[in-house]
Every structure is written in C-alpha cells, then in structure tokens.
Chains A and B, each alone.
Chain A
Amino acid sequence: MRVVVSVRLKDGILDTAGREVAARLQSMGYAEVTDVTTSKLITIDFDSGDRANAERRIDQLCKDLLANVSIEDYEIISIE
C-alpha cells in the first residue's frame, strides 16, 4: 500500500518559508493572501495487507523519525 504523510510546524511556531511565500504572493498583487503555511509531504510504500496495523506502524514511525513532535504535527493524508 502507499501512504502519504504530511508534516508541518505546529501552530504558533513561525514558519519562515510560509511567511516569505505569503509576502511574495502579496507583492505580486494577491492582496487577499493573508497567510501561507508550508509542509512536507512524505510518500511511503508500505508492505502490509492489514490497514489497521499499517496505521499503527505509520503513526509510530512518524513519532520515531519523520516528525519532531516537540515542534511539528503530522497527519496521515491517505492510505491506498
């Protein structure tokens, strides 16, 4: 199965890349842009026939490595 995970900075922690992209969009005339948040999308091919088990394992590997949970939130976007 293929799993897509999103990792982004927690709310309240300044996302410098998002801040810069928002400023550039506004300078291009997109005045309605008020904020931009960037995130990483990580695609994992996962050898498991058991979806529930896969979700548990993915959740754990996010905590163990993909995200630094002191500053980042993660979310499983899709499992196909």
Chain B
Amino acid sequence: MFVLFFFSESLYSRQNQEVRGFISDDETGRPVSSARVYVDNSNGSSTFSDSLGFFNVSVIAYPCVLKIDHPGYKSELIRMDRPSGGEFSVHLKPQPYQLREVVVTATRQPVSMMSSPSGVSYIPASNLEQSAAITLGEVLATTPGMFVREYGSRSAIQTASIRGTYSEHALILVDGVRYSSLQTGIGDLGLFSLADIDHMEIVRGGHSALYGSDALGGVVNIVTSRPAENLVAGAEASAGSYGYEAYGLSLSGTTAGFGWKGSVRKELGRDDYPFEFENGSTQTELRRTGADFNLLFVDARIDYGHTGEINGSLTASYTDADRGSPGVVTGPSSTGGARLGDRIARVRTALEFPGGGPFTARLTAAFSDAGETYYDPGTTVGGIALNSRHSNHDLVMNPELLYSAATFTANAGLEFSRGSVQSTDLTDAVRWQRSIYVLSTHSISLPFAVPYEAMLYPSVRYDLFTGQPGDISPRVGLNIGLLRIPETHLRLSYAKSYRVPTFNELYWNPGGNPNLLPERSYSLDAGLSGLLRWSGVWTFEASIFSINTEERIVWSPDAGGIWSPRNIASALSRGLELEGTWADEDRVLSCTVNSTWTDATKTSEDFPGDLTFNKYLPYTPRQTVNFSATVRLDPFAVTTLHSVVSFRYADEMNQTILPGYSLTSVTLRYALTVAGANTFMKAAVTNLFNRSYQVMPLYPMPLREFRLTIGGTL
C-alpha cells in the first residue's frame, strides 16, 4: 500500500475537517467504487467511495484512524495525526481469490458474494475473453440454476430460465435498468453484443422486493464497460463456420474530466448449418435454411465525475437486428421464410450526489424505444403476407437515497414508469407504474467465535400498475459468518415476488384478457458457501431452493375456440445447486464445476382428473453440469468447457422426451504486446465432438463450428 498525504498546516486547527481521497486498485490502477470508508471510534462520518473511486468523510478530532473496507480487497487502516490538505490516494491490494467479487444486484448495495443473502454468480469480462461463446445465452448457460432456451444458433431468439421457472420470470437488466420486454416479458439474449460488457451479475430466487415485476426466478444484470482513463483504440475481426463474420471498433478516453467511449460492432452469418433430422428410425441430413442474420450494435457513453459533488453517466445504445426465423423442422418441407427485425434504441442517464456525509442521492432515468417486425411471406392473411409490427416505449425514473454507516446501510427509492405499446396485433395501450421500496443491511458482530457475524437484509417494495391491484413484495435475507478459517457463510432468504401480466397477455387481438391478475410466487433460498486456502484456493457453494408460483397465466382456447390467457395454474420448483472452484495461488490453472438438479412440477388441476397434475414442467432439464478449466501460460491461455444437459420432457404429460446432450468447446488465446499495442488471436471450436442436438423441440442446433478472432488495442 502506498499512501500520499498532502499536509496543510493552516487547516490543522479546524474541527470537523473534511477528508477527501481517491481509492484505486493496486494492480490495475482502476478506481475502486463502493469501498466503505469510516472514521474509527465514532470520531467522524462514514461513506462509500463513489463510482469513480472518490470519497469524502468528516473528522471530528485528530488524531484519528481512517478505515477502508472492501470485500474484494485487504482492509486498510490509515492513522492521521493532523488534517491532510487536498486529496490523498489509497491503493488497495486485491484479495487473491474468487468469491471476493462485489455484487450490487443482490441487495442494491455493494456486498461481497460471500455475504449475499441469495445465490449469486459473477461473470467478469475476462471470462468472456476466454469463452468460445458468441451469444449472451451461451455464457449465462454455464452458471448454476440457469437453463437457456435456444431456438437455433446466432440468428435465433434465446431466453433465460432460472431455477425451473419460465423465461418471463427472469428479469434482465442492463446497468440496473429493465431490459426485458413489457410486451412479452422476455429479454432476448440473442440481441446482445458480448463486446461491451464489463461483467454480469446473476442473482437467483425471487427479487421483486428489490426490482418489482418479473423477478420470480431471478435477475440477470448486465453491467456495461466504462470509459478508459487514457486514450484506447480497439479493433477486432472474426471469421467462422457458416459465413460467420464479426467486426468491432472502439475508442475510449478521458478529456477535461469527461470519460467517453464509443463502439460499433457488426455480426453477420448464414447459419445454414447441416443437422441430423430424426423421425422415429428415419435419419436424414438436412441443412438449416433461412436463418441468416445481420446484427449491428452501436454504443456510446460519457462519464463525468467531480469529487464529492456529482458523478454522472450518459449511455446510449442502438441495436439493429435482421434475422431469419425459419421456425420448427418437422420434415424437409417445413422450413419457413419468416424474418424477425429488431430496432432498439436506449438512453440511460445516472446522476449521483455523494453529499459528503453518510447520504448519497441517485437519480436514474432511462428511455427505450423497441420496434420489432415479424414478416412471413409463407403466412398470408387475406392474400397479404403476415407483417406484424410492434412498437414499445418505456420511460423510467428512479430516484434513490442511500445511507451508509459502518454497520448499517439503507436505501429508499421511488420508481415511476410509463410503458406503451402500439402494434398491428394488440390494442394500443399505455401503462403507468408507481413504486416505492425500502431496504437495509445490518451487520451485527456476534460475541462468539462461531458464528462470528450476522448480516440482516430486510426489504419491501410496493408496486402499482394501471389496471392492476397493488402488490407488496417483502423479502427477508440473512447471512451468517460461521467460520473465519476456512471462511464459511450460511445464507437464507425468503421472498414474495410477482409478475404483472404482459401487454400480449392483456391486449392481444383476439384473445387478450384485460382482467388478468399478476402471477405470485414465494421463494426460499438457503445456501452454504466456503473458501479454503490449501494447495491453492478452493471455493464451494451449495444452495437449495424452492419457488412456489400461483395464479400462473396459461393460454388455452375459450369456449368459442379463441386462445386466451387465464390465471389458472400453479407450479412448484425445487432444487439443489452445487458449485466448486479451484485455482492455484498464481492462477496458472483454474477450474470450475457446477451442477444443478431441478424438480419443477405443475401443482394445479385444470379439471378433476387432470393428467398433467403433479407432472414435470416441459423443457426444464432435471440436471445440468458445467465443467471448465483454464490454463494461463503467458502469452497463451487455453480454456475448455464441457456442459451436460439432461433430458427434458417436451409435453405436459411427460410422455415425449427431448434427449439430453453434452457439448465441449475449446478456446486458445494468444496475447502479445507489440510496439505498445496489445494484440491477441483467439481460436475457438464449439461442439467439438460434433453432436446432433436440440435445446428446444424441433429447433436443430449446429454441429461443430470453428471461429478465429484477431484484435488489439492501442
């Protein structure tokens, strides 16, 4: 650690002196946000470092001891005999193990993964660098409790299903702002670029108490990257099987206190891969047709920070996707020529006012304009090809006040939104949302050696949507520090969550049901996590979960034969997640293995004698296993990932089966610094053993694929 003090004698005599500083990572030099800074022995205030690493605390009397805690770093104690003038810098040393990552999605306050009240996964950008994946779905699928429904390769829709719940029960956020569609309730994971992601946080279990509607199964928060401190220009290009091409350019830097960046990425391909079409004993090799894609991602961001006064960021993104959507394959003549077009523009601004004391005020405002077209020349209505157009607008304002003291933090926030839909298939609708939430964290040191600490996480949220009854979503969370060595934590949370009906369910023409009520769920999550340093660093995590969903919305024909949704079903999902990691001290070799067992069953009878009662829900694997290993021998790094997905039932009666599959991918990355430029080359093989498989019924997936990427930053 290296601390710089700037002394100023003239200020020495003043009391309630303000101390300002900047905290950075000792290894990377990047600012460290969310570090807790406080003056020991109640001799001053406490605060968290802001998103640019700056902090302000006031000191009552000197000498004093300033404490800086961050779950990802070794704590620092700074003794100050007299006031310092100006800012001083603190360089924190990172803790050399996993589970040290700080997540905000689980509690809306920074907390280490070990101290979270619910099951959490953290995917850093370095994992994406080493991954053979080209879609977000492929990356998320490797985390515990997650099953990604894939309807083809890069061109296809992908949706997340967490802990045996449906895709509309996984709330997708980008930088904390809702991304999931108001119209369908689903976040299409196929519409993301992996290039602009800093890290991802996945929290499992019901989280409506923090995020409102849709967070029944869990929340995926995609955190985009920040501008660089120095001027960085990046470029990369990829080529691969079936016409895959990708090009990316990025520029980032800081000018006059403003951090800025911009990037553009294009991905295109034919996805006309061969696949084995099986029907009974008949096996035919067919080729996927009409699945080409052309994707454009444009992102821009400006960050502004002024110590202790205001931090702000403005992000804008635009996605333009044109994708073939050939649908199910039931024979040589069943492929369609439909196309799916998406144009999504999003703007988000976040302002943070640190205020100097324990209070911080935040204001987040976001607007999205999502347009989608579905054109199918093979489906004609009255002689005219089907050409559905949907336009969704979503405006959100989220003011929030944060309080942080040494052993207590609290958030109180409001959320207002206006969502609207205009569509060729729906009645036009506008829906307002008014929400309020309060949550806190309490850290209690216990007077025992075992357990030594308890963290309490109570939270409650109230949401009111136009035309819907209000919903109160409470959560109680607990994390107990059991042992210091090996570090072991127990966690428990119980939450009530809900999902407000989507625009499709309310307003589809014909059949939409404006009288629908929200779905409600009760979820329990209990887990044990541990960390052991012995021949490297071991981490272990085990969770059991249960999600009981009531008033589930199911579409079925009414007496007049029109398909219409009703609140008729309930489901119970229970399971076990295990994850273990190991890395040697120098992180030359690191391994992760996880496995999830899920039992999701329908617990309601549609009528007496309903044969689907107590049967497993379709498309939910009973077990998934992921094993990955990485060897880093500079300048080379090799990663292999092996994933196993068990069989899924393809029907509510549990009579038809989609076979299980296992997939292996290998990535070789070679990084070299040439004349100040960091260059890399990455070669990847997916589906190494050329397996024929389907994730969802009748949507064939590609056989073995190769991809090569070269790129660099200057």
Tell whether A pairs with B: no
* Residues of A participating in the B interface, judged by any CB pair closer than 8 Å: none
